[in-house]
Amino acid sequence: MESGLEGQIAVVTGAASGIGAAIAAELAAQGARVAGLDLAEATGCALAIACDIADETALAAAFERIESELGRPTLAVHSAGITRDALLVKQTLDAWNAVLRVNLTGGFLLVRAMAPRLKAAGAGSIVLIGSINGTRGKVGQGAYAASKAGLVGLAKTAARELGRFNARVNVVAPGMVDTPMTRALAPEWRAKAADESVLGRIAAPEDVSRVVAFLLSPAARHVTGQLLNVDGGQLI
């Protein structure tokens, strides 16, 4: 059974590891040609570009290369993200700005780069990777939570602006996911996240990537401006 992603050109930020790598692999498995953007090498992509996705000039150059080597992209996923955890009273401005720059400004620049291409194509889909912490907040994650909450407002605005061109924008908000970033956490924090989940476990990256692929596909053609939690019930 075809997924509807065959032959589509997809841009995935943060494609070198974790959720981003799983998304890139899932889209490629479903027939998309994936351009992976990351500071590290994104293996397994049709095109891997070393890129600071929050650098306007670097991102513009990356898109020029994508169009030259693969064609015009109509699918995009913003999965790049960092965290600099600290209590708000101890959060430095430099750390705050670093998180907002990658997580939120990077998402904005990706959406802005995609917008004229989706308009020209008369179709397309963007998914921004948020977090349940953008909804509930999290002690020590003020910058991260704010950046992920900002992506929701960005997506809803973009959905309104791009809907007339048959383009869709949604947010997928995972709970705790088993990635290199979360494996560095203390075991008790991982155990707490599993206990919070009504399914009693934390997610594998593939649990997120399959939902992202669905939202990018024609199967979700009437879904836009939505926030979809993929957290095993952790938020509730």
Q: List, by residue number, the catalytic residues.
A: 144
Longest dimension (CA), the chain: 53
DSSP string, 101-127: IIIIIHHHHHHHHHHHHHHHHT-EEEE
Q: Where are the alpha helices (DSSP H) in the chain?
A: 18-29, 56-69, 93-100, 106-121, 133-136, 142-162, 180-183, 187-196, 205-216
Contact 149, 134 (CB under 8 A): yes
Whole-number Cα distances in Å, 207 to 11, 26, 41:
20, 11, 23
- Output the CA angle 146-151-156, nearest 5 degrees: 130
Q: Is 159 helix (H, G, I), strand (E, B) or coil?
A: helix
Considering only CA atoms, which of 92, 120, 235, 218 is closest in space to residue 174? 235
Angle formed by the axes of helices 205-216 and 18-29, nearest 10°? 50
